[in-house]
Structure 1
């Protein structure tokens, strides 16, 4: 279709450096047969160069020409191409720019922007659409509810959160498609315009516009320069006068075609809807049946009828599987596992396997956690009964253990507890076993009493024997003590040894230890006495040698030492012998003295005769 030839778009623009040395703005557009693209960019670099704005504009135009489209994804790709071009630039300075892109198919337009270049779309002298700056000043203005004219002088108006040349989080705004009408005017402009000419003045100029855009641009530039602003930024203003939009000549046929297609679609939709409704109704019926079976399951569980609950639950699970309701399948499966666990435990319980049944009910209790604890009351009652049954057996077994230890009083107590508990819970088997255990206890107790009477007699005899043995042992100890006192250690050892033997047989450990201590002392003393005897013998041997040598005085001294030893160890006979020996030596010494005296006298007489 010849869109461009059958529409009238008139475009004009002005772009000046203002008070700067070089113009850092850039505007370009291209009008193809099917689509048109208009781009305005404002360089944000400190260096006065148009490179960033020009590079961004060229990147968008090239991307558009290679893939002309109004699709949102296509427009987004144009801006991404421009952003990448600035990031990949080999410029000494990191290039940045604000940009606004307008794409049209001559019947509709879509615009996109990043930064604070602006667009206003006029229709019938009023603003139909306008862009929003991507700046901190704009966000703060929203919070503070500031007017557009105040925002134009806000100190954060150029603090941008989205712009070209952004390395991360680049997210430009892309509008919806806007249907055009004859007489619409699209205006693109940079901050050199909106910082110095307020929106009301712009609106006044374009509300009185003729078919020529250049006249409007000249009027606005005249307003701008008349104010003679200090440090006037680069300014660029472009206007696209949409004097005639494209009308599709095939529109009626397309509408008819659309109606026919719509009728077919409606019929198909009705058919599908009926089929869906039937499927839905069937599903609803199944859901209702499943819910009924599910509720029956819960009611049977409440009534403790787990056999019927198992049947209803199985049918409910089949319906849930047909419906592919994962939540219900999981929920009903948990109930089925619970019911199976309870029924299994009930069977074991009925057979009397209480310990195994207890384990089964505990497993069922775990399953009940995942089934809203529905079976807790039933399971707890069963576990309480089993606990009572097992307690009866425990009491009986404990009584049996106590009987083996001959603790009949406590055993009887446990058997009576078992009998009482079995009676209270109507457990006939347990009561019967407790009664049998009591009978065995009383029989054993009677035997024990008879045995005890016999044992008492034997014990009395043994006691008498023990008393006799103890008396004899005490007498032997007394004789040993007397012999020890008299230093008759050999006799004392005999007495003590005999007494020790008796105490050991009597298992009188304390008395045995005392006697053993005395025996050890006696042995020690006996050994000392033997040593003293050996020393006394040595003195006697020495005395005899001295006596043979005629040294009677020294010999007497040796006998004296031997006597003192014998007297010390209470060897009176030996001591008396030594005393006699010393007396004899004294007699011998006296005789020797007399003999010597006689010899001297004879020598004296002989001498006198010779004279």
Structure 2
């Protein structure tokens, strides 16, 4: 035991001074290895000051006995324990609620000492008769000394020497003044514990003087007490003085560490760590739960938006789901990540994110499908059935391939509706084409065909719910009826014009009849068409009869010339010339003019050479014979010309009939036969009507135009696009050389452009 190695002697006195009650308290205990000394000074102005002083000292010694040791932490713990006990007493007893006390604690391991104080109790260390160190106070006066505003010697006289900054019994954390470095003791050292009643009346010099006078501790104490009593102060505070003399010290030991406190700190740190981990775990669980709740809400909202067909909002909600899953992906890696199973959790979140992305893709497909349906409906309502059908087909493909939320978006019902729309668009396209064909027929004047197409289109529109188009068809049919009336009246006027001109201008009359007949044929009036044909035939017959009469007169005139009757011949030829002029046959007029000139020359020749005729009778007879032969040949020639002209005219009339019947190939053949005859006559110098040839050429080109168009239609129907394009191009080239009207030209040009588009398409475009 270290106590036996050392010898520490403790002596003390404690008196009330001039006060009625002593509020100081001193106590100590020397254990086997450690010792403690404690002195307390209760505040005189507060009730329970003596209780506070005694409780503080007893609590300090009690704690030290339970936890003996030699370190700074022990002093700090003792101070805190004493403060706790005093505060408990304040709480228990109301009248002690204001009690406080100063406290000085000194501990030793019998080789060194440590001390700590709070308030205005004081510690002195004397060696070789001198004070070598002393403690500082927790007073306002001590602060002034620290700030060098007050001398140390004047501290005991300062009026604020009792104004404490802290004391035992304060609420809140106290900060005692603890010596940080142990004081190594030597033999004959003395350390003292005092209260204010002592140190304000005895200064350090007096302590040193009195100690030098007395070797024995008790005598020194008696001397010091007398000094206190002999003070000139009228008011002497409670005073306590304890002196510990060291006659021997134990072997030195290192200052102990407070392992209990260390372990307590470790325990507190461990508990705090566990609490932090638990808190973080609970926070993570709560965070995960909150995030999963958000995910559930976002997914529900995405499904609700999907059902409402708000695909954009649905995608946004699913993107928010991905954002929440990203928050759940742990960022820990390495050892921490291994223990937290971070990789597996990341993979799980990645899997959920991928599933959500797939949902977004499926939603985008649904968005595309329903967008195609909306666009298809717009095209459908605007009458663009071709584009509407394409959009419906694309939507159908998208929805048939989709497996996501089929029931929620009523996929089967939508597909059924799309199929009905596709079927309707097919029929409505047919109706649209019929309407377009009707428009074309109407433009070209084929009213019967137009009405038939309009009626069929109207029936299809009505059957497929487009009643708004039916009224349009009915309006067009009414317009056709009006046009038919107008056309019929026009045909009657043309027929009347032909009747009027039939005796004065055969060609104009024939053209009028042709116009009337064409209108009757378009209107489907076969009776009137046959009547016009009869009139044309009668007109042609009269013209041919007149032509034949003129030819006969020419022949007779030539005969009269050969009969040496030039005057009669001149009369006949003049009449024939007049008839040719009426027939507007300039070629025959020119020929007859030649004959007339020859006849006139012949008459002149006869009158001038009458005398010579007798002399040259033989020669004249020969010449006359030659002339007669020439005239005979001319007569034969004229008969042939007349027959050829009649034949060519008949071919032309037949060609016109074939054209009206749309037998274009036969029409071309007839026109070419007529043209060939006229060209032969022209080459022989017997026909000089170039306009007639040009007129026939235009008719040939006109028939070729419609023939090529007809052949192009056949090739197009057989999907021989190249051949069809060639035919339409040939038709277009011949238009320039014919008298085709603008409507026919526009129709053929439209067909050519359409077939050129198909010709230029690639195979996959046809497939699409």
Q: TM-score range by the shorter chain?
A: 0.3 to 0.5
Greater RCO (CA < 8 Å, at least 6 residues apart) = 1
Using the size of structure 2 for normalisation, the TM-score is 0.35
Question: Larger C-alpha radius of gyration, 1 or 2?
Answer: 2
Using the size of structure 1 for normalisation, the TM-score is 0.42
